[in-house]
Chain A
């Protein structure tokens, strides 16, 4: 069975601090995608990043960076120099693959609420 855990329910930081959101995906699958989505207070879901299970290179996009370590099943997301606009709920969402087929069935973690205070 697959299990995705976002152990941090809520995080509060002061603006300009760096913050890391943790995600652990336990699975026996060797092939899968990992996604992060952002849900700001307005409620929409915004796609941030997709990585596949073969790629353990860190990725950086502006103030955002992602670190995937297959050995520990962790796919962590770091915001550098946080801003008030980063306040949102962040979801980690693995997508199991069966062979070459996409199951289409994202598995969402429970989310981490990030509050960035001015």
Chain B
């Protein structure tokens, strides 16, 4: 268990409203990721973080921003939600090693189901 929680687990919102999803981990891992899952597309990377205040874009970053002010929290924000952002959002981490490196295996949180009406 990589100690990953996501909140909220379900959210329904309206087009044009801002939405923030939170990913929280308890084990001080350096790398964190946000993915979205849509039918027919598998999972696609939105943004990832390789440390506090260090983030980079993934494959489908348009319309999303992220922030990481603490190691344990990685926030995903939809500044103005659109219906095309209706999806299941997964957070993931790569485990940090005591040697200072990390494993390449990503472990996933339980997911957040977001519906934009």
**A residues at B contact (CB < 8 Å):** 33, 35, 37, 43-45, 47, 50, 91, 93, 95, 102, 104-106, 108-111
Contacts and interface: CB of A to CB of B under 8 A. Distances in A.
A47 B42 contact: no
B45 A105 contact: yes
A95 B106 CA distance: 10
11 contacts: A35-B106, A45-B43, A45-B90, A45-B108, A45-B111, A47-B108, A102-B94, A104-B31, A104-B48, A104-B106, A106-B106
Contact of B42 (A43, A102, A110): A110
A3 B41 CA distance: 13
A62 to B, nearest CB: 19
B58 A43 contact: no
Given A47-B107, A50-B105, A109-B42, A104 B90 contact: no
B64 interface: no
B62 interface: no
A59 B29 CA distance: 28
Main secondary structure of the interface of B (DSSP, over half): strand
Given A33-B104, A104-B94, A110 B111 contact: no
Given A104-B106, A106-B106, A108-B42, 4 more contacts: A47-B106, A93-B42, A104-B50, A110-B40
Interface string B18-38: 000000000000010101000
B105 A102 contact: no
A105 B31 CA distance: 11
A91 to B, nearest CB: 6
Contacts of B33: 104
Closest 4 CB pairs of A and B: A108-B42, A45-B108, A108-B43, A110-B42
B67 to A, nearest CB: 18
Nearest to B90: A45
